[in-house]
Chain A
């Protein structure tokens, strides 16, 4: 493998990794907040892809412009899912863990079915007629498609925004405090229910951003969430449960490891690198790369 080819693989891995990171951050945020794994996370992303596609086809809004709109819609959707489903699942005292798993898992199945019903299982595609479509930046023999460059940049900006929000605003501090101790925050007058709802909204908005950028270069299908959802779960575990920064960093690592494994091993085994790394990390650091015990 030549140096140019290796740089291409690394560049592609990094661009993809930033998007993986963005998908994982939303999942990690929700998990850190209330110890609930959202099994419909990939389907949230799928929904955002269809929303972006819908804006483009029906209202001729370019994905670049639709992005904030999709994020806002996903925020509302996420908060409604909390209010409509998760809040009730959390109240159950018997087999609480199972109830939460099946509630979000059932939601995932429902979302897939509903989208397949309304949009058919045909593969959709925003195509090259969008602003970013089909354009590639070539830098010294390395090809970087504009949709993916845009996606990577948006991921960095969104993550930066999340970081500032969590460190420098009252809401961020309330979020952090609720993550630390749900009981104690009630004593200082923070409504944990409200924080949870906002947290779900925020998590959904983040994965919505990822879905919107992904739809500029990936196919759109009711099952598209499955492949990305699985990667998100591994990424969150690798980065460390409860660490938003860890999830983002681990996303980049996963993207790079996956791309490199596909070069070293037969490509059919490219997920192997991620699993080997994951096993190594949980043996040496059970809390994950950046997690707290």
Chain B
């Protein structure tokens, strides 16, 4: 074959590929990109996310009896019953890989929106990339407040961010104090990427405002081989409430090291992430009995939100585990996005952005404890009311806000 023929062939193939993608996007299929860690230390998070999205697709693409947006019809009604397909990409917890993959999803896979990304550090680069291409980014589960403070037009976050979560934690501690508990000091312990740093920044501010002494303020290197020196410092400071922000590896190591050094913190109020992941709870759950975490979801939600039980059952059949804080948010993000695309009636990203901005879904049409889904000018759902859940060795129970609690809080956890 001559060089010219090869060039011609390659050119034709590219054009055909483009036309095919175009046809698919215009016709019977809506393609959404999902960016998650599929390999590396957080790979399980990505694999679980995939199951959460597949669970959502089952509701979206089939006729479902659940009272959720887009559930009634097979596919998206206003796009002639078009089916939604999710293309997955692996960012390996690396912000640069995330950026490159987002670019690939937009330019090669022609996705009309992206969902992601678990790690706040990755969501930062991906949201900037989406902004540049004018493609909506629906942040499912990254909780750094700075993400919605960037002033991006194409950024939408369905769940609460750490400022809202931390506020709930301090409201909770204030409420306990009002009930006569003595809480004088808090200990901050956080990993050194944007998730941990941002979380600690908010907690530091709130502690100062509400009169809690900061007994220790420890920023540690994530994925460290050892946390002995760090735990020694927490032990010396012995705060009334330890407030950790850690991913799975560090959660396991922290709990093990505390036990090894004979340290039982009086209370733990954690910023979810590793503390609600099944692998961590399987490994060290017995060492964390009584630990409280912020959450968007807990198993007992089924009593408040009728669809939650059925969705959880469907997810469990796929993933072999219950929905948790992360997977419930991933499921919900895709549902909200599908609803917006349906209302937009097109896969044109600009129109989808407008539909997202106009979103208004009442809380009982979600599986979350949220009051509703409605975005402010920064794309933040300000109605994503957080809850606090307590680990009682077998499962989590909701303990705060007291109005929605299904169990009485055990305080102190290590009495």
Contacts and interface: CB of A to CB of B under 8 A. Distances in A.
Interface in A210-254: 217-219, 221-223, 226-228, 231
B256 A123 contact: no
Interface stretch (B37-45, B100-108, B329-337): B37-45
Contact of B221 (A13, A127, A263, A267): A267
A287 interface: no
Contact of A123 (B47, B232, B252): B252
Interface stretch (B277-285, B300-308, B350-358, B393-401): B277-285
A145 interface: yes
A219 B252 contact: yes
Nearest to B41: A223
B225 A227 contact: yes
B236 A258 contact: no
A121 B219 contact: no
A263 B236 contact: no
Contacts of B249: 123, 219, 221
Interface stretch (A1-9, A166-174, A181-189): A1-9
Nearest to A262: B229
B219 to A, nearest CB: 4
A271 interface: yes
B233 interface: yes
A268 B219 contact: yes
Interface string B243-269: 000001100110010011110000000
A5 B236 contact: yes
Contacts of A270: 220-221, 224, 229
B223 interface: yes
B340 to A, nearest CB: 32
B230 interface: yes
A112 B44 CA distance: 14
A228 B249 CA distance: 14
A263 B229 contact: yes
Contacts of A1: 236
Contacts of A143: 260-262
Contacts of B282: 122-123, 125
Contacts of A134: 259
Interface in A91-132: 112-113, 116, 120-125, 127-128
B283 A219 contact: yes
Interface in A14-65: 16
Contact of A122 (B44, B218, B224, B259): B44
Given A262-B230, A267-B229, A268-B221, A121 B39 contact: yes
Contacts of A202: none
A123 B229 contact: no
Contacts, number: 112
Contacts of B40: 223
A121 B47 contact: yes
A1 to B, nearest CB: 7
A123 B280 CA distance: 7
Given A219-B252, A223-B41, A12 B228 contact: yes
B262 A2 contact: no
B252 A8 contact: no
A16 B228 contact: yes
B229 A221 contact: no
A267 B216 CA distance: 12
The secondary-structure label for the interface of chain A is: helix
Given A1-B236, A8-B261, A125-B252, A268 B220 contact: yes
The secondary-structure label for the interface of chain B is: helix
B226 interface: yes
Size class of the A contact interface (CB-based, 8 Å) = 35 or more
B44 A121 contact: yes
A231 B225 CA distance: 9
Contacts of A113: 39
B226 A16 contact: yes
Contacts of B131: none
Nearest to B37: A121
A16 B225 contact: yes
Given A8-B232, A9-B232, A217-B256, A123 B279 contact: yes
B322 interface: no
Given A121-B44, A268-B192, A5 B232 contact: yes
Contacts of A267: 218-221, 229-230, 233
Contacts of B224: 227, 270
B253 A136 contact: no
Interface string B84-114: 0000000000000000000000000000000
A266 interface: yes
28 contacts: A5-B232, A5-B236, A8-B228, A12-B232, A16-B226, A113-B39, A121-B39, A122-B278, A123-B249, A123-B282, A134-B259, A136-B261, A143-B262, A218-B225, A218-B253, A219-B253, A219-B283, A221-B249, A223-B40, A223-B43, A227-B224, A227-B225, A231-B225, A262-B220, A267-B220, A268-B192, A270-B224, A270-B229
Given A5-B232, A5-B236, A122-B282, 13 more contacts: A5-B235, A9-B228, A12-B229, A12-B232, A13-B228, A13-B229, A124-B283, A125-B252, A125-B282, A125-B283, A260-B229, A263-B229, A267-B219
Q: Which 3 A-B pairs have the closest CB atoms?
A: A121-B43, A262-B229, A12-B228
Interface of B: 39-41, 43-44, 47, 192, 218-221, 223-226, 228-230, 232-233, 235-236, 248-249, 252-253, 256, 259-262, 278-280, 282-284, 286
Interface of A: 1-2, 5, 8-9, 12-13, 16, 112-113, 116, 120-125, 127-128, 134, 136, 138, 143, 145, 148, 217-219, 221-223, 226-228, 231, 258-260, 262-263, 266-271
